[in-house]
Amino acid sequence: MSRQFFVGGNFKMNGSVDSIKSIVSNLNGAQLDKNTEVVIAPPALYLLLTREHLGKNIEVAAQNVFDKPNGAFTGEISASQLIESDIKWTLLGHSERRQILCESDSFIASKTKHALEHNLGVILCCGETLEQREANKTTDVVTAQLAAVAQVVKDWSKIVVAYEPIWAIGTGKVATTEQAQEVHEAIRAWIKKTIGDDVAEKTRIIYGGSVSEKNCKDLAKQKDVDGFLVGGASLKPAFVDIINSKI
């Protein structure tokens, strides 16, 4: 079967009212590939602003969500609050939250389960450090991160897996097309073995890590690369070129 191409834009802790409006205006006025699903993730403060001004052909994601419905959890945001605000996706497991905020595999799995139970789509990030890659542990690390989710989640229909080698995030270094395909193929094989053939065939596995308008077309040609999770480039007009990389 053919998996719909998926491009996410993770703004991280970047943007202002004016710059977000400018990015949204540029996307609204652009000719985007109608066969590509597009989701952008602004900082939490700008979620409602983005949703209000963005065309309905593009969805909005939070950069995080908590695993409890409500309560004394200062600074957190709940799945039901996102759904009420017409925010239909969330990022989870990004390496910056794993490394800087020390989020564990089990905590990310719990948040993923809670988000899915509230009908949020989840862009589930996984990836290895340079040290782990050089020790030939890439597949072990990535599948262990996914295995924690598989222990608590059975329905993967609303999960998009984002493979983001940590050594390539914001560094300008990019996995070669062969390296990206190799890991994506390994992830799909693991899903097939662990969860099932149908889920492996349908689950979109996207690549993140210094994706740009210069390398996206070659990466998009790979058999198991079903799209991108874009960081810094999603803040620039060239994001449109990445969205249209399959044309």
- What does the pLDDT look like over 201-233, one tens digit per residue? 999 999 998 899 999 999 999 999 999 999 999
- Alpha-carbon Rg for the chain, nearest whole angstrom, is 17
135: domain CATH number?
3.20.20.70
- Contact status, residue 209 vs residue 174, Cβ threshold 8 Å: yes
Asked whether the predicted pLDDT for residue 174 surpasses 80, the reply is no
Q: What pTM value is reported for the model?
A: 0.96
Number of structural domains, the chain?
1
Tell me how many degrees the CA angle 189-174-25 measures, rounded to the nearest 5.
100
User: Which residue range is the domain that position 12 belongs to?
Assistant: 5-243
**Confidence class for position 149, pLDDT limits 50, 70, 90:** very high
What's the CA gap between 93 and 157, in Å, rounded?
A: 18
Catalytic positions are 94, 164
- What does the pLDDT look like over 54-99, one tens digit per residue? 999 999 999 999 999 999 999 999 999 999 999 999 999 999 999 9
